[in-house]
Each structure stands twice: as C-alpha cells, then as structure tokens.
Amino acid sequence: MNVFLTGATGFLGGELLVSLAKEKDVKKIYCLVRAKSEEEGRKRIEKIFNLHKDHYSCDRIIPIVEDLLDDNLTQKLADNKIISDTNVIVHSAANTSFSRIYDTLIEKTNIQGLKKIIDWSKTLKHFDKFTYIGTATICGTGFKNKLVYETDSPNMDSLHFVKYTYSKMMGEFMLNENLPQEKLLILRPSIIMGDSRPWVPRSYVILWTLASLNLLRLIPVDKDSKLDIIPVDYASEAITKLIMAKNLKFNTYHVSSGTESYTTPFRTTSVISNYYNDRPDFKFIDRSFVKQMKFWASGRLAPDNELNNDKIYLDYWEKTMGDKSKLKILFAGLEPYFEFIELSQIFDNSRMLNDIDIKQSPPTHDYVKICAKYLDNIDVFEGALDP
C-alpha cells in the first residue's frame, strides 16, 4: 500500500503519519507539505518522528512539497511521477478555526482544497481508497441532548454554528458526488483533546479550550452537558485500524467516545482543579450570564447586577488579566465552544467498536490529569484570536 497523506504536520495528521509508518503493509507514505524546498519539507516531517523518538525512514516517508491552496495543485500532482503509484489517499488537512474572520480561508482549504485532491485521485491508475478525515459535528445544531448516528449526516438542511463544520459537511457531499461508494472511507472523529500518553503533546493547541476554562473558572455552561471527547492517540489508533481493515461493513464511521466514555464539564474540571489551588473553585452558571460577563469586561456592568454576587471571580479576573479587554478577547474565542458544549451531543461508536479491534476510548476525566501540567504553557489570549 502506498499512501498519500495531507495534513501530516497537523496535530492529528502527525499522529496518523507515525502510526501508518508502523504498519508493515504500508510501503510508502507521500506527505503533502508546505515548504520552501524539499529539504525543508523533509526536516518538517523528520521533526514529527523525532518528538517521541519514533523511527523515521527517509526511503518510506517522502515529502511532496506543494500547497493545498495552489490553484494548479491538481495538475502538479498529476505531473509528479513519484506519486503515481498511490493506492490510498488520506485527506487529513483542514482549517479547523472557529473564527469567522477565517471563513474565506476555510472555504479555500476545506472545500476547494479537497476538490483538487479528488480531481487528482481520478487520474491515478492504481487508486483504491479515498479516506476523508471529517468531523462528527457535521450533524449541526439540530441534535441537542441526543445520540447521533452516522446515518443522521450529512444533511443539507442542518444549521451550523461555525463555517468549519459546514465545510466538512459539504466535503462529504462533494466526495459522494465525485467518487464511487466502494472507494470512499469517511471517518468522523468527535472532539479531539489532549493525549492519554504520559509525554509532551504534539501540539498544545488541542488543549486551548481546557486551558481557557481553567483560567476563567466561572463558566457559563451546563455542568452536566455530555461531551464526546477523545485523546489524539486514540483517534489516530482507530483511524489507522479503519484504514488498514479489510472488508469493512460500512464506509462511514464515527471515531468517538460514545455512550460509555463521554465526559461532562464538571467531571473534567474537577480533575484539573487539584493542580491549580491558587485559583477560585470552578463554578458553573447559566448561559444567560455571558452578556453580563461581557458588560463587566467593557466596564458597563450595573452595580446591582446579579453577576456581582460572584465578586470573588471578578476580582480574580482583574488581578489575573490586568486589562479587562483581555476577557473580551477570551470570550470571543470561547463563545462557539460554549454553544457546542450546550448541545450535549454524543456520537454513536458501535460501528467502529464492532468492525475493528479497539477498546473504548478512555474518558477525558480519566486521562486529563496527564495534560493538566501543560495548560499554563498555552497563551490563551493568542489562541482566542485564532480559535
């Protein structure tokens, strides 16, 4: 099997690259990577393997220096004889930002970029499978407090909080319109956060939401909302096994924690609270308080406002952040996440558990203690500008 992998330098793509490289049946992995030269591309790929001292073979792992945003990408890939023996495409590249300022870039990356890879796949003589790394959240906002099944999506009538989930839904429609079903494998991870292994995570970015809540401490969400979260190592293991599996019963799978391993905001924050005793206890309040919190950050909160009952948190914010405008920045980044948390969605994973040899994902409240010590390494305000 010769694999063409996009998104190899991303936090999930990097884990997939290392995982696929350990498979005996994978002869070569071609990695689409942005770089100024092939040497720079090779160094970016090698860095992924060096982080946790994984074996790197320059003969098997080959950088393909191109850009997903290049209008001529399809033709450039078609002209590249090195990758003409590709059997399997794993399209992991995506712009995952929730910020509206990146909507145009999300469109170019997640929809137009995908179309270029699809068009190139049609030129391959030995093409067997197109594996698309999507997201379970393409179901949209219509599924609140529900167990979501693979067959519930994609649905053109679904509504979305952010362009990212909409673009991934449109990607599935595009794949179904352009490729035969037997050549498609659509994998939908739920929320990926942290790493269950006791080592430095490949990217701190996947901990940004947790780090932000850890700083905020007064959280305007339902503490008992169900959260379908998995660690990146579990996501990578499941995806690799699905890619390598023979005779799968379906071509669409949730990669998720499901009904057995979901978490809640209360369970997860209870674990990390033990690591930061210098901060007020976590407290969950109603979503309606978001507007009042914004008023406080703008210096417009009325003296008799109910939020003043939580003065310990207001004083803590002022002491910790100094400039109140920082809280406005933090809220701007967090607001879409508050919306997702309140949906209380769980994604059925019975297909995955039945069709490959894998156990349930560890619940976030079990493994998050491994990640807790890294939370203060994250600049939450910088992350809020590009969530």
Q: Count how many Cα atoms sit within 13 Å of the Cα of residue 182 in the half-sphere of its side chain.
A: 3
Lowest mean pLDDT segment, chosen from 69-83, 133-147, 227-241, 268-282: 268-282
What is the residue range of 54's domain? 2-189
Average pLDDT value over all residues in the chain: 95
Pair 293, 307: CB distance under 8 Å: yes
pLDDT of residue 37: 94
Farthest CA pair distance, the chain:
72
Give the mean model confidence (pLDDT) for residues 33-62: 95
Find the mean pLDDT for residues 247-254.
Answer: 98
State both tokens at 315.
């004083």
- Is 48 contained in some domain? yes
What stretch of H or E contains 184?
strand 184-189
CATH number at residue 18: 3.40.50.720
- Residue 147 within any structural domain of the chain: yes
The token duo for 53 is 């001292």
Do 375 and 214 contact (CB within 8 A), yes or no?
yes
- Please check whether residue 364 is in contact with residue 229, taking contact to mean a CB–CB distance below 8 angstroms: yes
| Structural domain includes residue 15 | yes
What is the average per-residue pLDDT within 110-138? 98
Q: How far apart are CA 236 and CA 15, in angstroms?
A: 6
Please state the rounded mean pLDDT for residues 374-384: 88
How much is the average pLDDT of 338-350?
98
Distance, CA of 271 to CA of 274 (rounded, Å)? 6
**Residue 112, token pair as written in the block:** 């137009």
* Within a domain: 14: yes
How far apart, in Å, are the Cα atoms of 66 and each of 69, 348, 382, 386? Answer: 9, 37, 28, 24
CB atoms within 10 A of CB 228: 27
The mean-pLDDT minimum among 178-187, 321-330, 347-356, 363-372 falls in 321-330
Do the beta carbons of residue 187 and residue 144 sit within 8 Å?
no
- Helices 11-21, 232-244: axis angle to 10 degrees equals 50
Q: Which structure tokens are listed for 379?
A: 């600049």
> pLDDT band at residue 383, thresholds of 50, 70 and 90?
confident
**Residues 6 or more apart in contact with residue 4 via CB below 8 angstroms:** 29, 30, 32, 64, 83, 86, 88, 89, 90
Classify residue 217: in a domain, yes or no: no
Indicate whether 316 belongs to any domain. no
Q: What is the pLDDT of residue 325?
A: 85
Categorise residue 160: left if φ over 0, alpha if ψ from -120 to 50, beta otherwise. beta
Instruction: Work out the percent of the chain whose per-residue pLDDT is above 90.
Output: 88
Per-residue pLDDT for 387 more than 70?
no
Per-residue pLDDT, averaged over 137-161, amounts to: 97
pLDDT digits (tens, 9 = 90+) for 65-107: 999 999 999 999 999 999 999 999 999 999 999 988 899 999 9
User: How far is Cα 331 from Cα 302, in angstroms, rounded to an integer?
Assistant: 19
Dihedral sign for Cα atoms in the order 293, 295, 300, 302:
negative
Count: domains in the chain:
1
Q: Residue 182 pLDDT more than 70?
A: yes
Cβ neighbours of residue 281 closer than 8 Å, sequence gap 6 or more: 217, 273
With a cut of 80, say whether residue 123 has pLDDT above it: yes
Q: Determine the 3-state secondary structure of 66 from DSSP.
A: coil
For strands 129-133 and 218-219, give the pairing. Answer: unpaired
pLDDT score, position 332: 87
Distances (CA, A) of 234 to 16, 82, 307: 10, 32, 40
369: in domain: no
- pLDDT at residue number 384: 84
Asked if 348 contacts 259 with a C-beta cutoff of 8 angstroms, the reply is: yes
Q: What is the DSSP letter of 51?
A: T
